[in-house]
Amino acid sequence: MSELTDTLSDNQLAEQAALGLDGVIDRTDPGHIKHLYGLVVQYEDIDAGGIVYHATYLNFAERARSALLRASRFDVHYWLSEERQGFVISHIETDYLSPARLHNRLIVETSCLQLGGASALLQQTVMSFDRGHIFARVMVKAAWVDIEFGPRKFPEPLQAVLRSFQPSS
C-alpha cells in the first residue's frame, strides 16, 4: 500500500478516487467558458482494429454533458423524479475526423452555441488531452420536456447554466 492509502479511510479513498469525475469548468477565457471532461480510451471502447467505435464518441459526449450538469450543480435527479421533466436529444450530428486508439487520453470540450426557450444547441469536441488534435466534433440539439405533457421552457436554473457556457459576442 502507498503512504496515501495507509492514512485514508475507505470513504476518503472513495472521495479521492471520485475527484475530477465531473470534469472542470474552464474559465481561462471569460468570453468563452467551456466544460472540459477527461477520459481514457478503454479496451471496451475499441474494435478489433484497435480504434474507437464510432458510436462510442456519442457515449463520451453524453457522459460529458451529464458531468457538465453535475459540475454546474444542476440537480437532474430532482427534476426527473420530482418535477418529471428532463432532456431529450432531438438531433445529433457527428463529424469523425480521425480515430482515437486504446489508452489515448481524451478531453471532451462542451459549449452552448444557441439557447432557446426549450432547446439548446451544444457543440462538443473530442480531442487529445493536450488539446492539439481533434478526433470528433458532435453537435447536439437538446430539448427540455415534461414527461407527460411534452416540450417545456427550460427552468431558470438550467437556463443560467447553459447561458454561462455561451460565447459572449
Q: Which residues are catalytic?
A: 47
**C-alpha atoms less than 13 angstroms from C-alpha of 101 in its C-beta half-sphere:** 3
Query: Partners of 96 in the beta sheet?
Result: 136
Give the integer Cα–Cα distance in Å for 31 and 167.
6
Helix (H) or strand (E) holding 126: strand 119-128
d(Cα 137, Cα 122) in Å, to the nearest integer? 11
What's the CA gap between 127 and 139, in Å, rounded? 15
Q: Give yes or no for a contact between 36 and 108, defined as CB atoms under 8 angstroms apart.
A: yes
Instruction: Please give the Cα distance from 159 to 152 (Å, whole number).
Output: 12
Residues near 76 by beta carbon (within 8 Å), at least 6 away in sequence: 66, 69, 70, 86, 87
